[in-house]
Structure 1
Amino acid sequence: MAFKDLREFIELLERENQLVRVKQEVDWNLEAGAIIRRAYELQERASLFEKVKDAPGCRMMGGPCGTYARMALAMGMSAEASVKEIADEFDSRIQNKIKPMLVSTGSCKENILKGNDIDLFKFGAPMAHDGDGGRYINTWGFIVTRDMEDTGWVNWGMYRQMIHTKNMMGGLILPGQDIGRMYQKYEKANKPMPFATVIGGDPICTIGGSLSAGPGESEADLAGGLRKSPVELVKCETVDIEVPSDAELVIEGHVLPKVRVEEGPFGEYTGFRTSPRAPRPVYEVTCITHRNNPILTVSNMGTPVDEADIVMTLAWRNEAARALKTLPVVEVAMPAYGSGHLVVVSVQRAYSGVAVHVANAIWGSKLGYLVPMVIVVDDDVDVFNLGEVVHAVSTKCHPVRGVHSRPNTPGHALYPFLSFEERKWGRAANLLLDCTWPVGWDPNIEIPPKASFVNIYPKDVQEKVLGNWNKYGF
Structure 2
Amino acid sequence: MTRPRDLREYLAALDALGDVQEIDTEVGQGLEIGAYIRRCYETRSPAPLFTNIRGTGEGFRLLGAPAALSSAPGRPLARVALSLGLSADAGPHEIVDALAAARRREPIAAREVDTAPCKRNVLLGEQASLARFPTPLLHEGDGGAYVNTWGTIVVRSPEGDWVNWSIARIMRIDDRHLTGLVMHPQHIARAWQLWADRGEPMPFALVQGGDPALPFVSGMPLPDDVDEPGFLGALLGEPVDVVKTETVDLWVPASAEIVIEGHVSVERDADEGPMGEFAGYAPAETTRQPTYTIEAITYRDDPIWPTVVEGEPVDEFHTTTGLTTAAEVLALLREADLPVRTAWAPFEAASHLLVVTVEEDWRAALPGVDSAELTRRIAQVLDGFRSEATVPRVFVLDADVDPADQAELTWALATRCHPEGHRVVRHGPVLPLLACYTAEERHAGRGPKVVHDCLLPEEGRQRRSSFRHIYPADVQQWVLDNWRA
Using the size of structure 2 for normalisation, the TM-score is 0.91
Question: Secondary structure at the residue paired with 1:123?
Answer: coil
1:241-390 paired onto structure 2 within 5 Å: 241-274=250-283, 276-325=285-334, 326-347=337-358, 348=360, 350=363, 351-352=369-370, 353=372, 354-390=374-410
C-alpha displacement at 1:167, in angstroms? 1.1
1:163 has 2:163 as partner: no
1:159-238 paired onto structure 2 within 5 Å: 159-238=168-247
Partner of 1:427: 446
**Contact between 1:320 and 1:367, CA under 8 Å: does it hold in 2?**
no
**Contact between 1:403 and 1:433, CA under 8 Å: does it hold in 2?**
yes
C-alpha displacement at 1:404, in angstroms? 4.9
C-alpha displacement at 1:275, in angstroms? 7.1
CA distance in 2, matches of 1:156, 1:304: 25
CA distance in 2, matches of 1:61, 1:106: 21
- Superimposed CA distance per residue, residues 131-177 of structure 1 (whole angstroms, 9 cap, x where no aligned partner): 100011111111000111352x1100001111112211000101321
Partner of 1:39: 40
C-alpha displacement at 1:267, in angstroms? 1.4
CA distance in 1, matches of 2:3, 2:455: 42
Q: Which amino acid aligns with 2:55?
A: D
**Unmatched 5+ residue regions in structure 1?**
none
Q: Which amino acid aligns with 2:419?
A: P
**Contact between 2:48 and 2:64, CA under 8 Å: does it hold in 1?**
yes
Q: How many residues align?
A: 464
CA distance in 2, matches of 1:41, 1:257: 40
- Superimposed CA distance per residue, residues 171-209 of structure 1 (whole angstroms, 9 cap, x where no aligned partner): 010132101011111111101111000001121123222
Question: Secondary structure at the residue paired with 1:159?
Answer: coil
Q: Which amino acid aligns with 2:456?
A: W
% identity of equivalent residues: 36
**Contact between 2:221 and 2:325, CA under 8 Å: does it hold in 1?**
no
Q: Which amino acid aligns with 2:148?
A: N
CA RMSD of aligned residues (A): 1.8
Cα distance change, pair 244–364 in 1 and its aligned pair in 2 (3 A)? closer
Cα distance change, pair 150–198 in 1 and its aligned pair in 2 (3 A)? closer
1:461 has 2:462 as partner: no
Question: Secondary structure at the residue paired with 1:61?
Answer: strand
Partner of 1:438: 457
Partner of 2:68: 66
Question: Secondary structure at the residue paired with 2:390?
Answer: coil
Where has structure 1 moved over 4 Å in runs of 4 or more? 403-406
C-alpha displacement at 1:129, in angstroms? 0.6
Cα distance change, pair 36–438 in 1 and its aligned pair in 2 (3 A)? same
CA distance in 2, matches of 1:228, 1:28: 39
Cα distance change, pair 313–438 in 1 and its aligned pair in 2 (3 A)? same
CA distance in 2, matches of 1:214, 1:345: 20
Select between 320-329 and 106-115 the one with higher mean Cα deviation.
320-329
Question: Secondary structure at the residue paired with 1:229?
Answer: coil
Question: Secondary structure at the residue paired with 1:324?
Answer: helix
Cα distance change, pair 404–206 in 1 and its aligned pair in 2 (3 A)? closer
C-alpha displacement at 1:125, in angstroms? 0.7
CA distance in 2, matches of 1:419, 1:398: 24
CA distance in 2, matches of 1:282, 1:173: 10
CA distance in 2, matches of 1:5, 1:130: 32
- Superimposed CA distance per residue, residues 365-389 of structure 1 (whole angstroms, 9 cap, x where no aligned partner): 2232111101111232122222222
Cα distance change, pair 319–401 in 1 and its aligned pair in 2 (3 A)? same
CA distance in 1, matches of 2:329, 2:352: 12
